[in-house]
């Protein structure tokens, strides 16, 4: 990694740029000084198609002029813009600075629109067609890559259109999740559960909690071993939203269903991350997006808080 944190590559690229400019100057100088051996008619002796002769004439002035303009432009560009090592250039321009300036301009232009929704409750925003159209665009640009365009998620990515929430589905919790992000961690629990057979018995007990097909005998043997999991999921298996521990009784499987999937989870654990959006979206945008997500599982804009 030291190659990417030192100045070597920036100096390397700057050196190539300067060598290219110097090479153009040397080419012009040599072309003006070098004398080719010519015949009496000023030709080089090369003939094509019977009568097409190569003459030893100097470069046209307009061609030389273009070379000189290119060189002057290149030197001026390197002086004004970043290009020589770590030098920021005389103008102090950067792609990051331009991006931030354009973002600030865009946010200023749409600020009056978002101001309309800032004073409204989540429930009221969720009923506003204009706000929901904006929320839909925000969702498509920032959330759909993981949760899908229909917000129903996929394996490893929660469904946002149902009533099942890992950290709570209230407007406040949804906004908190969007703003700060989440890191969900299921530690490997095989050592705490016991033998491989114990792990499979626990898997069948977990399946029994949601009424899924299971082996009743193995489930009965796994119930005592489930105590190792109860610290997060609770003795009743209904989870803990404070910890983000899933409810195991609702037959909703985020990382896959069945004995083998549960055994793999117990043996290997799992880490999931929801990235924070605070650095990408403004506070008014987060409010509209949180209202949109809340509305996905509260279609009628009801006051039901899950």
Q: What is the largest CA-CA distance in the chain?
A: 109
SS3 219: helix
Residue 20: both structure tokens together: 């290219």
Residues of the chain with pLDDT under 70: 1-5, 34-39, 41, 300-306
Q: Is the pTM of this model over 0.75?
A: no
d(CA 104, CA 114): 14
Phi (first) and psi of residue 271, to 5 degrees: -125, 125
C-alpha to C-alpha distance for 78 and 67, rounded to whole angstroms:
17
In order of their start, the domains of the chain are 2-80 (no CATH), 100-181+275-296 (1.10.760.10), 185-274 (1.10.760.10)
The answer to whether 239 and 231 have CB atoms below 8 angstroms apart is no
Is residue 175 within 8 Å of residue 276, measured between CB atoms? no
Give residue 116's pLDDT.
87
The answer to whether 178 and 290 are in contact (CB under 8 A) is yes
What per-residue confidence (pLDDT) applies to 38? Answer: 62
């Amino acid at each position: 990694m030291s190659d990417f944190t030192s100045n070597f590559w920036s100096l390397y690229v700057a050196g190539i740029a300067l060598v290219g400019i110097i090479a153009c100057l040397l080419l012009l100088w040599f072309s003006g000084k070098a004398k080719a051996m010519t015949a009496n008619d000023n030709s080089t002796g090369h003939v094509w198609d019977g009568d097409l002769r190569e003459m030893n004439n100097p470069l046209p002035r307009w061609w030389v002029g273009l070379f000189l303009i290119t060189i002057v432009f290149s030197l001026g560009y390197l002086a004004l813009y970043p290009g020589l090592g770590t030098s920021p250039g005389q103008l102090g321009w950067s792609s990051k600075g331009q991006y931030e300036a354009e973002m600030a301009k865009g946010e200023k232009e749409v600020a009056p629109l978002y101001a309309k929704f800032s004073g409204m409750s989540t429930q009221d925003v969720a009923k506003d067609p204009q706000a929901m159209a904006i929320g839909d665009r925000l969702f498509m640009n920032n959330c759909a890559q993981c949760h899908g365009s229909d917000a129903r998620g996929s394996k490893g990515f929660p469904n946002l259109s149902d009533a099942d929430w890992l950290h709570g589905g209230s407007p406040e919790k949804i906004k908190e999740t969007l703003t700060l992000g989440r890191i969900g961690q299921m530690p490997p629990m095989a050592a705490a559960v016991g033998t491989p057979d114990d792990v499979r018995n626990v898997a069948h007990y977990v399946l029994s909690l949601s009424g899924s097909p299971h082996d009743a005998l193995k489930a009965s043997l796994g119930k005592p071993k489930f105590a190792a999991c109860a610290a997060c999921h609770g003795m009743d298996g209904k989870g803990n939203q404070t910890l983000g521990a899933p409810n195991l009784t609702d037959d909703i499987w985020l990382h896959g269903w069945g004995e083998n999937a549960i055994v793999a989870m117990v043996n290997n654990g799992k880490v999931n991350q929801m990235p924070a959006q605070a650095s990408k979206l403004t506070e008014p945008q987060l409010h509209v997006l949180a209202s949109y997500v809340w509305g996905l599982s509260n279609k009628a804009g009801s006051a039901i808080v899950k």
